[in-house]
Amino acid sequence: MRPAFIFFAAFVATTPAAAATFTGEAHDHTVIVFSTSKTYEHCRMSQPFSFTHEGERLTTATTCNIYVVPGVHKEACRATHDLIVDPKIEGPVTIEKCEPGRDPAASPKKK
């Protein structure tokens, strides 16, 4: 039983911190995705939404590859177009992948 406990403890110790979380909002002709993260991360995510076009309600999604910076409710991605009329969020943001990033200030300076 002891080896299983050691494996579990090692797994917990090496598991990365929780990934960024995202929320979507719809306004006018725009869909905005906000991020909350404690660390820098590179993420690919998708926000499903619907809009009205020629009397029909159509559903699509905006997909973004973004560099998330630490903070709460920071704008991460925006989709704006005149054809996006009466947008509505149609579900949670789907995170396809998030990988740890680096603080740009900590990167070596180029000469």
Which CATH number do you get for residue 64? 2.60.40
Determine the pLDDT at residue 103.
80
Banded pLDDT at 18 (limits 50, 70, 90): low
Structural domain boundaries enclosing 66: 22-100
Residue 94 lies in a domain: yes
pLDDT (tens digit per residue) in 23-56: 999 999 999 999 999 999 999 999 999 999 999 9
Over range 62-83, report the average pLDDT: 94
Residue 106 belongs to a domain:
no
Q: What is the rounded CA–CA span in Å between residue 46 and residue 65?
A: 9
In a domain, 42, yes or no: yes
Q: What angle do CA 79, 97, 64 make, to 5 degrees?
A: 15
Q: Is residue 13 part of a domain?
A: no
**Which pLDDT score, from 0 to 100, does residue 12 have?**
39
Position 38 in a domain: yes
Q: Let me know if residue 6 belongs to a domain.
A: no
pLDDT level of residue 13 (50, 70, 90 thresholds): very low
Number of structural domains found in the chain? 1
pTM here? 0.74
5 falls within a domain: no
In a domain, 91, yes or no: yes
- Range 6-24 average pLDDT: 58
Instruction: Give CA–CA dist 8/50, Å, rounded.
Output: 43
The mean pLDDT value for 76-99 works out to: 94
Residues whose CB is less than 8 angstroms from the CB of residue 11 and which lie 6 or more positions away in sequence, other chains included: none
